[in-house]
Amino acid sequence: MTATALAPADQLTRDVLARLAEAPDPRIRETLGALVRHLHAFVREIAPTESEWAAAIDFLTRTGQICTDRRQEFILLSDTLGVSMLVDEINHGRGGATTETTVLGPFYVADPPDVEAGGDIARGLPGAPLFVEGFIYSQSGAPLAGAIIDVWQSDDQGRYDLQFDDPGQFFMRGRLRADDLGRFSFWSIMPRSYPIPTDGPAGALLAAAGRHAYRPAHVHFRISGAGHDDLITHVFVRGDQYLTSDVVFGVKDSLIADFEHRTRTISLVGAPIERAHRYLRYDFVLPTASAATVAAQ
């Protein structure tokens, strides 16, 4: 019985996969094989013209060209297509046992300035005063003394410091350390909902899809502690109009909190605050280190 010949396009896919079969690293072999199968299926489905495919290549070229040490357009592209949150869910879906995670975003800075407990990360920028405090716990329920807490956020105009004109100054970000009881605290100003940068390819793609570019107001946290996986998350302002349509799909119900209006607060360390301010109390629970984390250490 004569075997049915494959269509030229199907034969091409088989030929490409055959060339990958001898890749020495099994994970690379698996990953490239899946990429070829899905990419070829995508091209078959949409049947692009040559000019459309050239436009797609130009789009990716421009995405790379706009990237700098202060802007990462590929992260924006990943975020706005929901890929960043998909990767997050695959790696960190925990069903509520520990604090839920969300995207890192394009505005994180490694090794931000140190901030003392109760210090002001806004560094004089105008806005409604915000006092933030809480505990860092281990998954076991024990306080995580000495945990490192990186925080960053937008100002009250919806801008991050990386978008300011002066590249040498940092505002609305800092690194704190939890005390022996796992407590942390800092002053800031109320963040505001904001559009992601739309002057590049990611923004053009949003416009073509008829989507808005806004994120709901939030404060970012990246928390690490010995023997634990890092926690990357946000705390969102309850009532923000973009909570149900976050451009990067990053909102989770457990991460929405009240930023209370107050005129008086007794902080967790017993210090009184006797002026009008907004107040956020949020406790974080870190997962114990995964096997992958232990192997990497």
Angstrom distances, CA of residue 256 to CA of 131, 147, 197, 238: 17, 23, 24, 6
Q: Who contacts 181 (Cβ-Cβ below 8 Å, separation ≥6)?
A: 135, 143, 145
In the three-class reduction of DSSP (H, G, I as helix; E, B as strand; rest coil), residue 245 is classed as coil
Kindly name the residue from 173, 192, 215, 277 that is annotated as catalytic: 215
d(CA 144, CA 227): 10
Structural contact between residues 282 and 220, judged by C-beta atoms closer than 8 angstroms: no
Distance of CA 20 to the CA centre of its chain: 33
d(CA 85, CA 88): 5
d(CA 103, CA 106): 9
Kindly name the residue from 220, 234, 277, 278 that is annotated as catalytic: 220
Q: Is 215 a catalytic residue?
A: yes
Helix (H) or strand (E) holding 75: helix 73-80
Q: Is 220 a catalytic residue?
A: yes
Q: Is 183 a catalytic residue?
A: no
Kindly name the residue from 194, 214, 242, 282 that is annotated as catalytic: 194
Kindly name the residue from 218, 228, 277, 278 that is annotated as catalytic: 218
Kindly name the residue from 160, 214, 279, 282 that is annotated as catalytic: 160
Nearest residue to 227 (alpha-carbon basis) of 129, 142, 114, 102: 142
Structural contact between residues 178 and 145, judged by C-beta atoms closer than 8 angstroms: yes
In the three-class reduction of DSSP (H, G, I as helix; E, B as strand; rest coil), residue 205 is classed as helix
d(CA 167, CA 170): 8
Six token digits for residue 150:
């990186």
3-state helix, strand, coil in the chain (%, to 5): 30, 25, 45
d(CA 111, CA 2): 66
Structural contact between residues 129 and 276, judged by C-beta atoms closer than 8 angstroms: yes
Catalytic residues: 160, 194, 215, 218, 220
